[in-house]
Amino acid sequence: MAALARGPAAASAADPCERNDPPLLSLTLRPSRSLTASAGSWTLGLAAGGLGMPLVMVADSGVAWGMLPFLAGPLAALYWAFRRSTLDGRQLREELRLWPDLISVVHWDAGGSIRRWHANPFWVRLRLFDDARIEKYLTLQGNGREIELGAFLSPWERETLYASLSEALAGLRR
């Protein structure tokens, strides 16, 4: 995605993406999360129970202390992975807004950086590639740059986004 401005200082500058009038179309794209917080807790609990079973068998001997790091390590790694996935999922998103004279995309990375792109919707070209390396690869081209839309979406979600955005852009051009 084209980097026009980055970080909080860029938001305070005169930015065409920040407007007070309501857009004709406003979409917020977020990655789907199949594991909820309660399901993650249950999974972690079941993993702890399963990994703890060998310790129960040898609880009276000194072998349990030797096995403990090898059983606690994977549990800690699983907890860290769940935690990291949850935090990254909260930050990662794209906001697409369409006005009669402007289309803007603001992308928030999992690391917290912000990338902004804008163009005139009359000259924008929306493309959905069926034969690309990524299934249903969706791009938006305009203002001298081409950006990827919804990289974290599933192929059918990108197709749906393509249909919705194509319809909205066609409506503006009539």
Q: Is residue 130 part of a domain?
A: yes
Q: Is residue 110 part of a domain?
A: yes
Q: How confident is the model at residue 38 (pLDDT cuts 50, 70, 90)?
A: confident
117 lies in the same domain as 156: yes
d(CA 151, CA 131): 16
User: Percent of the chain beyond pLDDT 90?
Assistant: 53
Question: Of 84, 70, 100, which Cα lies nearest the Cα of 173?
Answer: 100
Mean pLDDT of 78-83: 90
- The model's pTM is 0.70
Q: Is residue 111 part of a domain?
A: yes
Q: How far apart are the first and last CA of the chain?
A: 28
Number of compact structural domains in the chain: 2
Q: Is residue 32 part of a domain?
A: no
pLDDT higher than 90, residue 157: yes
pLDDT tens by residue, 43-63: 999 999 998 888 888 888 888
Query: In sequence order, which residues have a C-beta less than 8 Å from that of residue 18 and are 6 or more positions away?
Result: 11
Q: Is residue 12 part of a domain?
A: no
CATH number of the domain bearing residue 158: 2.30.29.30
125 lies in the same domain as 61: no
96 lies in the same domain as 169: yes
105 lies in the same domain as 134: yes
Q: Is residue 26 part of a domain?
A: no
Per DSSP, the chain holds a count of helices (H) and strands (E) of 4, 7
Beta bridge partners of 142: 145
Q: How confident is the model at residue 2 (pLDDT cuts 50, 70, 90)?
A: very low
Q: How confident is the model at residue 14 (pLDDT cuts 50, 70, 90)?
A: low
pLDDT of residue 105: 94
69 lies in the same domain as 84: yes
CA angle at 122 for the pair 150 and 97, rounded to the nearest 5°: 40
- Expressed as residue numbers, the domain containing 77 is 37-89
Mean pLDDT of the chain: 86
